[in-house]
Amino acid sequence: MIFDSHAHYNDDAFAADADEILASMPENNVGRIMNACAALGEMDRILELCRKFPFVYGSVGIHPEYAEKPGSSAEAAIKSFAADEKILAVGEIGLDYHYDEVPRDIQKECFDFQLSLAGELNLPVIIHDREAHKDCLDIASAHREVTGVFHCFSGSREMAREVLGLGYYIAFGGSLTFKNNVKTVEAAKYVPLDRIVVETDCPYLAPVPMRGKRNSSHYIRYVIDKLAEIKNTDRETIENITFENAERLFRIGGKI
């Protein structure tokens, strides 16, 4: 069975058919899905999906694109959503220097604050790092009590080494299949299998040969096939190991 460790079924792209698509997952070998939150306004829909589908889990957090100065109301909201038994992580949080929509100092402050909250709540984090590798590592390093996953990993082998050193998992998605993405393939070669999880980040980042289309967990098999090729093993081995890894990462069944 497959664990899609990062998806956004509350996205507008799924407004018409999220329920239908999700209902078709178990028969297509997708056994668990982490639906990641980007803004607190998404939480009602995320919880609705968690209630409806036993195999869907959620996270709560503020994506760097929506980062704001940390305050008591955000803190209270994150804590109350995190108390739900299906909310298993704080995320997605991090830094995005590609779009730079929010000033970097505010992104950093918001990231740092949510790492502290994750520490306090004893939850793993889902880190979004886009073109901000050094600052992400520096801030994550200041919270050694917290681990989680670097989602949609786009760093080098050297960066992977540092992320692993902090105790994090590394998630590979559609970009692993993109042509000329030598750096990510090199990183995937380097990361031991017991620290890898797979994801779609759907509706975004559909893998080759579906690139450009609306992504869904149905297409995660292309990422799994690519990983199997890189690791010189078969699809089933990758599916099983990444499933177990994601269960460990999100402590499925272990939330107090």
Q: Which residues bind Ni ion (CB under 5 A)?
A: 36, 201
Contact of 205 with 174, CB cutoff 8 Å: yes
**Nearest-approach distance from CB 143 to Ni ion, in angstroms:** 21
Q: Please choose, from the candidates 157, 96, 87, the residue with its C-alpha nearest in 3D space to the C-alpha of residue 122.
A: 87
What is the C-alpha separation between 155 and 243, in angstroms, rounded?
A: 23
36 or 185, CB closer to Ni ion? 36
Contact of 125 with 146, CB cutoff 8 Å: yes
**Nearest-approach distance from CB 256 to Ni ion, in angstroms:** 26
- Report which residue type is found at 195: R
**Nearest-approach distance from CB 234 to Ni ion, in angstroms:** 28
162 or 201, CB closer to Ni ion? 201
36 or 170, CB closer to Ni ion? 36
**Nearest-approach distance from CB 201 to Ni ion, in angstroms:** 5
**Nearest-approach distance from CB 204 to Ni ion, in angstroms:** 7
13 or 228, CB closer to Ni ion? 13
What is the C-alpha separation between 154 and 187, in angstroms, rounded?
A: 9
36 or 197, CB closer to Ni ion? 36
ω into residue 209 within 30 of 0, thus cis? yes
177 or 215, CB closer to Ni ion? 215
Nearest residue (beta carbon) to Ni ion:
201
What is the enclosing helix (H) or strand (E) of 230? helix 220-230
Q: Which residue has the tokens 């609705």?
A: 48
What is the C-alpha separation between 230 and 97, in angstroms, rounded?
A: 29
**Nearest-approach distance from CB 54 to Ni ion, in angstroms:** 22
For 196, the 3-state DSSP assignment is strand
Q: Please choose, from the candidates 224, 152, 148, the residue with its C-alpha nearest in 3D space to the C-alpha of residue 181.
A: 152
**Nearest-approach distance from CB 34 to Ni ion, in angstroms:** 10
On the 0-12 / 13-18 / 19+ scale of CB atoms within 10 A, 147 is: middle
91 or 256, CB closer to Ni ion? 91
**Phi, then psi, of 9 in degrees rounded to 5:** -80, -5
